[in-house]
Structure 1
Amino acid sequence: MLSRHELRQLIRQRRKQLSPTQQQQAAHQLAERFRTLAFLPDCQHIALYLSNDGELDTWPLIHALWQLGKQLYLPLLHPVTPCHLIFQHFQANTPMRANRFGIPEPDWSCPDVRPVIQLDLICTPLVAFDALGNRLGMGGGFYDRTLAHYPARSSDGTPRLIGLAHHCQQVEAVPIEPWDVPLPAICTPAQIFLS
C-alpha cells in the first residue's frame, strides 16, 4: 500500500490531469448530483469551501444552493486556535482575502461566524477517499481537528459531513490514522457514496 504522502502525490497528479472542460463538466454534474441528496431539504446552514489545487470547482454548487435559499458558510483559519477552522457566513458580496496558504476566505467578521454545532451540513475537500468513507486530506489536519469532537454519524444528524471529490480520487483503501474523521457520505459528479 502507498504511504499517505505517496497517495497524496498520485491523486493530486491524477486530479490535475483533468482538462478545463472536464473540470467544468464535473463541477456542474456535482451540483446536480448534490441536489438529489435525501437529507438536503433538512439542511439550511451549509458549510462549503472554495476550490484550490485542482479540487472540484464548488462555484456551480454554491450558486445552486443559493438558488435553493440555503445559508452558506466558508472556512477560515481560526484566529486563536492553531490548525483549526471556523465557519463564517458567505454571500455574493462578502469581502474576501487570501489566507496564509493563498486560499480565499472571508474577511473576519465575528457576528457572521456560526459555531460548528449549529451547521446542518459541512462539505469537506479531500485528496483521496475510499468506499468506507475514509478521507485523506492535504495533510494539515485542519478539518480533522475541527471536527474531532463531532461524531460523523451522529444520531441527530448535526452537523452532517460530506466529502466532495472527482471520481478519479477514489482509491481501494485510504491508509488511516486514529485522528482521521471518517465521512458518512461522499459526493462525486457520478455517484453518492454512503458508508
Structure 2
Amino acid sequence: MSPLSISEQRNQLRKQMRAKRLALTADEQAFAAQDIIPKSLELIERYSAQHIAFYLPFNGEISPLALMDRLIKQGKKIYLPVLHPFSANQLLFLQYQGEAQLERNRFGILQPKLDVRNVLPLNELEMIFVPLVACDTQGNRLGMGGGFYDRTLSQAKQLISVGLAHQCQQLEYLPLESWDESLSHIILGEQA
C-alpha cells in the first residue's frame, strides 16, 4: 500500500479535525469562545489595531461573536468576509452592520450583503482573525480547502493574521502545500 499524498493527508485531517470540533458540547464551545477574549484583546492592544476583520462561526468553528461585540463597544471597526462575486475564491471585506444586514453565501455561511460602497480595501485592514480546521505549533493553518484565506494573506503581507481555534485543533505538525500562508499568531480556546 502506497503512502498517502499530501493532499490525501490533508483531506483526512480535515475530516478528523472537523469531527473533533463538532463533538464539542455547547458548554465547551461557549467556554472556549470566552477564553479567547482576553488573549485577543491583549494582541489587538499590542498592535493598536482599529480595522479588524473577523469571520462568522460555521460548522463548529470557535465563535468570535462576543469578542466582536466587545470591540464594537470600544469603537473598533469590524469587517467580515464576503465571497467576491466575479473572482473565484477571493474575499472582499465589508464593515459589519449587525445581523439584519447578513445573508447566506453559496456555502451556507452568513456574510454581509454586498454593497460596493462598504468594501474596505485590503491594504486598510490591520488585523484579521481567521477560522481554521487545524493548526500546528509553528503557526501553520489548515483551512476548509478553498484557499480563500491563503489568497487573502498572500495579497496583504502587512496584515497581522490571527488564527482562532479550539485547543483540540492544534497538532504538532501539519502537512503543507506551497501556497499555504502561515499565521502571525494562533489563539487557542480551552474547553474548561
Q: Answer whether TM exceeds 0.5 for this pair.
A: yes
Query: Which amino acid is the alignment partner of residue 173 of structure 1?
Result: Y
Q: How far apart in 2 are the matches of 1:43 and 1:137? A: 24
Residue 99 (str. 1) matches residue 105 (str. 2): yes
Matches within 5 A, 1:1-195: 3-37=9-43, 39-40=45-46, 42-92=48-98, 95-151=101-157, 158-190=158-190
Contact 1:83 1:141 in 2 (8 A): yes
> Residues 148 and 71 (structure 1 numbering): CA distance in 2 closer, same or farther, change over 3 Å?
same
Q: How far apart in 2 are the matches of 1:171 and 1:41? A: 27
- Residues 99-119 of structure 1: per-residue CA shift (max 9 Å, x gap): 001111111111111011110
Gaps of 5+ in 1: 152-157, 191-195
The Cα RMSD (Å) is 1.6
Contact 1:33 1:189 in 2 (8 A): no
C-alpha displacement at 1:39, in angstroms?
4.7
Q: How far apart in 1 are the matches of 2:78 and 2:100? A: 11
* Paired residues, number: 184
Overall identity of the aligned pairs, in %: 41
Gaps of 5+ in 2: none
Q: How far apart in 2 are the matches of 1:165 and 1:180? A: 17
Query: Which amino acid is the alignment partner of residue 183 of structure 1?
Result: L
- Of Structure 1 and Structure 2, which has the larger fraction of its residues in helix? 2
Query: Which amino acid is the alignment partner of residue 160 of structure 2?
Result: R
